[in-house]
């Protein structure tokens, strides 16, 4: 009888975790529906672009520009979901190295920075939208419309960050530290 080494067991467990398929969509909320629609439209535009360019050998001119704009929308509208779920990129492993007393103040400071960043980005997007007077090249729509969607995305991200800041501030320092350490040890 052959036994696996601890390394092989760990690799096998990681593969099983990656291969696990779930149909649980319980964490999809009303705020996630626009990003799903944008993603589906982007998929159709890129598929159309691929089909016309490589199958028909006659590319449609509008697909590249519109795909680029939908990718921008996907980034900013999808960011709302990431901030709402708290799944945006951050250095969670650092919580394992911080003293327990400093974890909550660090998290609160980070959330304040996040609120400030998205609020300022929204303000800049308003200024950009107001200064933009040109239309898209391939369709007769003002580019400012795209920028106003970015404005809404930025301010919604700031709003969800404020909500997360309030939730974290209401918890005790020990509870926050335990949650972060547990998440760090479990890999997120």
The pLDDT value given to residue 6 = 74
Do residues 131 and 144 make contact, with C-beta atoms less than 8 angstroms apart? Answer: no
This prediction's pTM: 0.78
Whether 107 and 169 have beta carbons less than 8 Å apart is answered as no
**Nearby residues of 162 by Cβ (< 8 Å), 6 or more positions away:** 115
When pLDDT is cut at 50, 70 and 90, the band that residue 10 belongs to is confident
For residue 15, what are the contacts with CB-CB under 8 A and spacing of at least 6? none
- Tens of pLDDT, residue by residue over 73-132, are 999 999 999 898 887 676 677 777 788 888 889 889 989 999 999 999 999 999 999 999
pLDDT of residue 3: 64
pLDDT of residue 58: 85
Reply yes or no on whether the pLDDT at 37 is more than 70.
Answer: yes
pLDDT score at 185: 61
pLDDT value, residue 44:
96
pLDDT at 103 (0 to 100)? 84
pLDDT in the model for residue 77? 93
């Amino acid at each position: 009888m052959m036994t696996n080494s601890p390394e092989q067991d760990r690799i096998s467990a990681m593969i099983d975790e990656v291969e696990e398929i779930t149909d649980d969509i319980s964490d999809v909320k009303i705020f996630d529906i626009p990003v799903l629609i944008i993603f589906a439209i982007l998929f159709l535009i890129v598929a159309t672009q691929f089909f016309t360019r490589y199958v028909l050998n006659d590319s449609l001119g509008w697909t590249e520009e519109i795909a680029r704009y939908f990718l921008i929308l996907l980034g900013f509208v999808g960011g709302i979901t990431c901030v709402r779920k708290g799944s945006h990129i951050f250095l969670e492993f650092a919580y394992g190295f911080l003293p327990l007393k400093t974890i909550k103040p660090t998290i609160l400071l980070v959330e304040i920075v996040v609120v400030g960043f998205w609020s300022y980005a929204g303000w800049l997007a308003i200024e950009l939208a107001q200064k933009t007077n040109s239309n898209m090249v391939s369709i007769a729509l003002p580019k400012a419309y795209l920028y106003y969607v970015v404005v809404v995305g930025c301010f919604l991200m700031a709003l969800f960050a404020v909500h997360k800041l309030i939730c974290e501030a209401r918890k005790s320092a020990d509870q926050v530290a335990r949650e972060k350490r547990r998440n760090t040890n479990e890999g997120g």
